[in-house]
Amino acid sequence: GAGVSQSPSNKVTEKGKDVELRCDPISGHTALYWYRQSLGQGLEFLIYFQGNSAPDKSGLPSDRFSAERTGGSVSTLTIQRTQQEDSAVYLCASSSSGGYYTGELFFGEGSRLTVL
């Protein structure tokens, strides 16, 4: 596609349920990033993929969070047993460069997660 696509755009779930957030990066972009943005806050890094591997998972807040990327393209961020503090906008970004040098990131519109 022309840009980074994220789905769903909005998700309301009950505490304790699992959610999956999807990111479809720009075609050909090898680097993919997930960030989390709480209301009125900056971006919190979650995980980085280069191809299908994740050299840096250091930002995942707990073992309830996991992410995978298949075929060097689509990525899924899964949150198990959601908690109210998981409520945030989850932003995905892709880049044609990655690794030790991080170039321009192209962001999706985000998935807004609300945990009741």
What is the binding site for another protein (CB under 8 A)?
Answer: 4, 33, 35, 41-43, 45, 48, 50, 55-56, 59, 91, 93, 98-110
Query: DSSP letters along 55-73, please?
Result: EE-TT--STTEEEEE-TTS
**59 or 66: CB nearest another protein:** 59
Tell me the closest approach of the beta carbon of residue 72 to another protein, in angstroms. Answer: 17
Pick 19 or 54: Cβ nearer another protein: 54
Q: Which is nearer to another protein, 79 or 92 (by Cβ)?
A: 92
- CA 22 to centroid of chain Cα atoms: 8
**Least Cβ distance, residue 31 to another protein (angstroms):** 9
Residue nearer to another protein on the CB measure, 22 or 80 = 22
Give the contacts of 108 (CB within 8 A, at least 6 positions apart): 3, 4, 5, 6, 23, 91, 92, 93
Minimum separation from the CB atom of position 114 to another protein (A): 14
Shortest distance in whole angstroms from residue 91 CB to another protein? 6
Can you tell me the distance from the alpha carbon of 43 to that of 57, in angstroms, rounded to the nearest whole number? 15
